[in-house]
Amino acid sequence: MNKKLSIIFLFLSLMIGAQKPTLFLIGDSTMSNKDNLEKNPEHGWGQVLPQFFTSGIEIQNHAMNGRSSKSFRTEGRWDKVEKQLKKGDFVIIQFGHNDQKLKDSTKFTNPYTQYRANLERYVNETRAKGATPILMTSITRRNFNENGVLVDTHKEYPLVVRLVADAMKVPFVDMQLLTEQMEISAGPEKSKQLHLHFKAGENPYYTKDKADDTHLSRLGAETVAKLAVNALKTLNTGLEKHIK
């Protein structure tokens, strides 16, 4: 009987060991999957991420439009991720855009208290499952002033991500810095191609003028995803072996 149990245990262990790791993405609309991809010009950078990874890892994009570090949890979205987490998985955590919403009590968080505590909790709960958390700052908005200077809109939130990453020794990608460099390199005019700028009738998806400097076009999403992937390669988390 003991021999049979040993064989069953070995078989189960091999089965578990053969499971692919999963990369989970949690965040907001800049990362999320968009509907109607064939016609919709808007893409989340997490949506195009799978093309940069091998078949040896599964990617689940749980990012959702309009969510903050607070509402993502209160709506039960984190619970769905946490229940699936297993040893060897990875979780990219990127919030901030919607944590700033002072007029929405379901989303707003004070950067130095609630926001920081939320990030720390995501990190701790990920680690408790044997998975690896990866913190990212928000991608920057295309916000050039009349002098062609890119002006930050996220204020204290990216700083808090950096502080948490440093204090808790969490793998960290400064997407704010990388996307600032991207926007500045493109300049005030060409950077519009990275976002959603259309005159009425120019794209059949939009019946009115569109000037969205937060969300990404397909070109913008792929460019941002490449920046993220190149940074992830340097972290030595084990995720890099699954990158093409």
pLDDT in tens, 7-52: 555 444 444 446 899 999 999 999 999 998 888 999 999 999 999 9
pLDDT of residue 226 exceeding 60, the answer is yes
pLDDT at 2: 56
How many domains does the chain fold into?
Answer: 1
7 lies in some domain: no
Q: Is 5 part of a structural domain of the chain?
A: no
pLDDT at position 38? 83
Domain carrying residue 188? 22-242
- Tell if the pTM clears 0.85, that is, is over it: yes
E strand map for the chain: 22-27, 42-43, 58-61, 90-94, 132-136, 172-173, 196-198, 210-212, 216-217
The C-alpha angle 220, 55, 34, rounded to 5 degrees, equals 35
Q: 150: domain CATH number?
A: 3.40.50.1110
Segment 126-181, tens digit of pLDDT: 999 999 999 999 999 999 999 999 999 999 999 999 999 999 999 999 999 999 99
| Helices (runs of H) and strands (runs of E) counted in the chain | 7, 9
167 lies in some domain: yes
Q: What is the mean pLDDT of residues 115-124?
A: 98
Residue 66 has pLDDT above 60, yes or no: yes
For residue 4, tell me if it sits in a domain. Answer: no
CB 155 within 8 A of CB 100: yes
DSSP track, 110-131: -IIIIIHHHHHHHHHHHHHTT-
Q: Domain for residue 14, yes or no?
A: no
Would you say residue 8 lies in a domain? no
Q: Which residues pair with 212 in a beta bridge?
A: 196
